[in-house]
Amino acid sequence: MTLTSSYWPADTSDLVQDTTVGDVLRSAAAEHPDFIALVAGMPDPADRRRWTYRELLADAEQTACALLGRFEPGERVAAWAPNIPEWIVLEYAAALAGLILVTVNPAYRPSELSYVLNQSGAAGIFLVPEFRSPMAAYLEEIRPQVPDLREVVLFTEWDAFKATGIPTEKLPDVPCDEPVQIQYTSGTTGAPKGALLHHRGITNNARYFADRLKWVPGDVFVSPMPLFHTAGCVLGVLGCAQARATLVPLVAFDPGLALDLIETERSTGLLGVPTMLIAIAEHPTYKDRDLSSVRSVTSGGTPVPADLARKLEADLGVAFTIVFGTTECSPLLTQTRPDDTADDRAETLGQPLPQTEVMIADSSTGKPVPIGAVGELCARGYLVMKGYWNMPEETASSIDAEGWYHTGDLASMDERGYLRIEGRLKDMIIRGGENIYPREIEDVLYSHPAVAEVSVVGVPDARWGEVVAAFIRPAAEAPTQQELFLFCRERLAAYKTPNHWVFVDAFPLTPSGKIQKFVLRERFVAERAADVGP
């Protein structure tokens, strides 16, 4: 198909299935009951418990019965813990019981926790007593401020809770269009919004993801992605279940642990955001490991440097695939294929997944822009969320009257339907009336051998309104500012070449590994103000 404008009609050849999260697990257990479904990705091999699909279903159904002893279908229950196996059992159990799971970042502090519990109206919370912070103490601190919260269960008392389930209790029939999760956006501007996802959306999205990767029963998938993120609990958990593969979630990201698990569990697939994959490739034992089982490496969540994709393909002899999505879209819109060309795998986001309608829209007209032009990426179809929980105005501003979800991402599409991300609408730099897309500059700088990581942002300027600032984490041999300036000037127009260069030892990251550009911008502005003085 050759496109004449930046509009991709949905590929309807692979039907959307009317499935629920519970259906997915029951089907896997029926087809391959004795295949390993889950391995606890703990540092100590003695703690790496294993579940077959039969055992995982039995645990989930018993837990669902216990949940129904305390909650009514449709109520919200929160999960607040790192990547422990019980989190996954709770995910399946809540879905089987007709509850809505509220996924909570374990890095949250008391005020953030209070906001999410109150905004979601959570009736219960499951948590670990401590993980890098005193979580149980935080909960006690804000408990008086959360009047709807009536049940608190510690994962350390999981077996006792699970035992309260009555096995003969009938689990409800859950419609596939019912909500199943509330996933909170990162909230880099304003309060976090809870994307209300439904069974049909996340189950089909995970299936299309696994199918495009060509996963088969018995594959093993190591995932350092946090379970509170859709990459962890949708792509990882449900993608593996639909492929009848084994999921090995790291309890928390550590590059050495990731390498241990890939090697010992004979992982065939690996998922991680670029910062995670860079850390794995920079680990001192990386080159000494037996990683021959790996068949595919998948990344996304933030722009993926083309050089990183090519390096890992060369190192491991694998197909590197890039995914692009947003929480509100369950989460994936596009994905490269393992058999795409090397350039497409490294430099594009691939084509849209099945049943996904995509348009690159002109912000002034709402119509598709010409092929190759930059506009806002919009999506429509089964995958779009029901809306933001209890935020009708925010929902209406994100999903228009024709059902298009506006991602806020700037993208372009070629005549084959392959997409490229050019940046965020809010990240776009406007220098003296010229639009500058940070991704283009980042790609140039990533190609310099002395640059390990880079992030480009716009910073205030009295003359131009905004100018370009580049934040660099150097490789082993640090480059000079002049060297990088000349490197950019040979490859970019003068107005795109950074005016400011900042060398850093590390970047501020979200818990899912994305660079927090707004933090870099705020720090830069604050430091410049301090230099100027009163």
Q: For the segment 468-507, what is each residue's pLDDT rounded down to a tens digit? A: 999 999 998 889 999 999 999 888 878 889 999 999 999 9
Is residue 1 one of the residues assigned to a domain? Answer: no
Which two structure tokens, joined as six digits, stand for 511? 């818990």
Q: Are the beta carbons of 8 and 413 closer than 8 angstroms?
A: yes
Buried b (16+ CB within 10 A) or exposed e, 499-512: eebbeeeebbebeb
Percent over 90 (pLDDT), the chain = 80
Q: What is the pTM of this model?
A: 0.85
Q: Are the beta carbons of 75 and 99 closer than 8 angstroms?
A: yes
Which two structure tokens, joined as six digits, stand for 79? 């999960």
Predicted local distance difference test score (pLDDT) of residue 433: 66
Find the CATH number of the domain harbouring 45. 3.40.50.12780
pLDDT in tens, the chain (534 residues): 899 999 999 999 999 999 999 999 999 999 999 999 999 999 999 999 999 999 999 999 999 999 999 999 999 999 999 999 999 999 999 999 999 999 998 988 898 899 999 999 999 999 999 999 999 999 999 999 999 999 999 999 999 999 998 876 789 999 999 999 999 986 444 578 999 999 999 999 999 999 999 999 999 999 999 999 999 999 999 999 999 999 999 999 999 999 999 999 999 999 998 889 989 999 999 999 999 999 999 998 777 888 889 999 999 999 999 999 999 999 999 999 999 999 999 999 999 999 999 999 998 899 999 999 999 999 999 999 999 999 999 999 999 999 999 998 889 999 999 999 887 777 778 787 676 878 889 988 999 999 999 999 999 887 787 899 999 999 988 899 999 999 998 888 788 899 999 999 999 987 667 788 889 988 999 988 766 555
Are 483 and 515 contained in the same domain?
yes
Which two structure tokens, joined as six digits, stand for 200? 């049909």
Is residue 2 one of the residues assigned to a domain? Answer: no
Is residue 420 one of the residues assigned to a domain? Answer: no
Is residue 418 one of the residues assigned to a domain? Answer: no
Placement of tokens 């790192």 in the chain = 82
Are 449 and 350 contained in the same domain?
no
Predicted local distance difference test score (pLDDT) of residue 176: 98
Are 353 and 464 contained in the same domain?
no
Is residue 33 one of the residues assigned to a domain? Answer: yes
Are 322 and 431 contained in the same domain?
no
Predicted local distance difference test score (pLDDT) of residue 494: 83
Instruction: Compute how many other C-beta atoms are within 10 angstroms of the C-beta atom of residue 396.
Output: 12
Are 212 and 147 contained in the same domain?
yes
Q: How many domains, in total, are found in the chain?
A: 2
Is residue 419 one of the residues assigned to a domain? Answer: no
Which two structure tokens, joined as six digits, stand for 11? 């590929």
Say how far apart CA 164 and CA 185 lie, in whole Å.
Answer: 34
Are 355 and 482 contained in the same domain?
no
Say how far apart CA 248 and CA 502 lie, in whole Å.
Answer: 37
Nearest to 202 by CA among 247, 171, 232, 244: 232
Is residue 25 one of the residues assigned to a domain? Answer: yes
CA atoms within 13 A on the CB side of 1: 13
Picking from 360, 390, 413, the residue at the C-terminal end of a domain is 413
Between β-strands 405-413 and 419-424, what pairing exists: parallel, antiparallel or unpaired?
A: antiparallel
Nearest to 215 by CA among 133, 141, 96, 298: 298
Partners of residue 470 on adjacent β-strands: 456, 501
Is residue 462 one of the residues assigned to a domain? Answer: yes
Are 440 and 369 contained in the same domain?
no
Partners of residue 339 on adjacent β-strands: none
Are 172 and 65 contained in the same domain?
yes
Q: Are the beta carbons of 503 and 478 closer than 8 angstroms?
A: yes
Picking from 413, 439, 459, the residue at the C-terminal end of a domain is 413
Predicted local distance difference test score (pLDDT) of residue 364: 86
Residue range(s) defining the domain that contains residue 489 = 427-532
Are 109 and 245 contained in the same domain?
yes
- Cα 304 versus chain centre, distance: 13
Are 402 and 463 contained in the same domain?
no
Find the CATH number of the domain harbouring 516. 3.30.300.30
At 518, which amino acid appears?
F
Which residues fall within 8 angstroms of residue 449, CB to CB, at 6 or more apart?
475
Are 187 and 307 contained in the same domain?
yes
In the structure, how many helices (H) and strands (E) does the chain have?
A: 17, 26
Are 36 and 137 contained in the same domain?
yes
